[in-house]
Amino acid sequence: KSNTHSLPRWRVNGPLSNMPQFAKAFGCQQKQPMVRESYCKIW
């Protein structure tokens, strides 16, 4: 079975873990899974 969409966890966790605002709002610390070492800035 194939799907054109990415897995749900990547559709949600991928964008959120790329937002420093998310880490700040939820008190995430460095080295936690939802905090990236570097962020990808597109816009």
**Residues 6+ positions from 33 with CB-CB distance below 8 Å:** 17
User: Is the distance from CB of 40 to CB of 18 less than 8 angstroms?
Assistant: yes
- pTM beyond 0.75: no
pLDDT per residue over 1-43, tens digit each? 788 888 888 899 999 999 999 999 999 999 999 999 998 888 7
User: Is the distance from CB of 16 to CB of 22 less than 8 angstroms?
Assistant: yes
Rg (CA), the chain: 12
